[in-house]
Structure 1
Amino acid sequence: MTQTITMPSFLARHADGAFVLDVREPAEYVGGHVPGAVLAPMSRITSSLGPVPKDRTVHVICQSGNRSRSMADLLVALGYEAVSVDGGTSAWVAAGRPVVMGAHAA
């Protein structure tokens, strides 16, 4: 069963440099993503895991939290320590946090 993290906990972890993996599709990511989030679209996640660390928690995020739960389960099965961010990018925005537009993580 997928471990999840609440938005307040994620905000604190993000401020401390958490690794964030965005599993939305490229057009969604370009339209606005959490600063520092690395894109690994759900549709081709297994071929996008190169930059994903196995030595720290991977915070998996999507738009609302549905896709991220499935992808966090997959990552755990592949040997990663992964948690799904409750509420996803929508909750991030609702918390008044900024998003980055464009194809780059930073």
Structure 2
Amino acid sequence: MGMTLKDLVAEARTQVGTIEPAEAQADASAGGLILDVREPSELAQNGAVAGALNLPRGILETRADATLDTAEPRLTGQQGKGTVHVLCAAGGRAALAAATLRRMGYEADVIAGGLNGWKAADLPVEMPG
């Protein structure tokens, strides 16, 4: 039998570290990047972290590969220069995304608790308007 999503997320979590939301925010202010891998509809419904780059998990690899025309400069510019702190709603997609980024040569970790942890730490969230 193949792996389940739960298995894949558990495996990814063994490959990446976590960072507390306030630490991620401080590091982003010093040159790190917060990458939100939620879908646009989730941002519209639940808000977004100010200054975060939103790239849905489903297109991450096409934006993280600097050799492609679809590469996202804010992300590829972090490679070798700073950590990418990955965020989703609760942490599963972020773990998968961070593990993928690490395989692609990035320094990446997961923001503990996802957007829920960010909000619980009373950090700013913007609602689209």
Structure 1 residue aligned with 2:93: 67
Structure 1: gaps (5+ residues)? none
Q: Deviations over 1:30-62 (max 9, x none)?
A: 330111110110111112331202121101111
Shift of 1:9: 2.4
Q: Normalised by the size of structure 2, how large is the TM-score?
A: 0.71
Q: Normalised by the size of structure 1, how large is the TM-score?
A: 0.85
Structure 2: gaps (5+ residues)? 1-14, 65-71
The range that moved more, 45-54 or 10-19, is 10-19
Q: Distance in 2 between matches of 1:81 and 1:17?
A: 13
Are 1:85 and 2:100 an aligned pair? no
Could you tell me which amino acid in structure 2 is paired with residue 34 of structure 1? V
- Equivalent in 48, 53, 58 of residue 38 of structure 1: 53
Aligned residues: 103
Verify the 8 A CA contact 1:22 1:29 in the aligned structure 2. Answer: no
Larger helix fraction of residues? 2
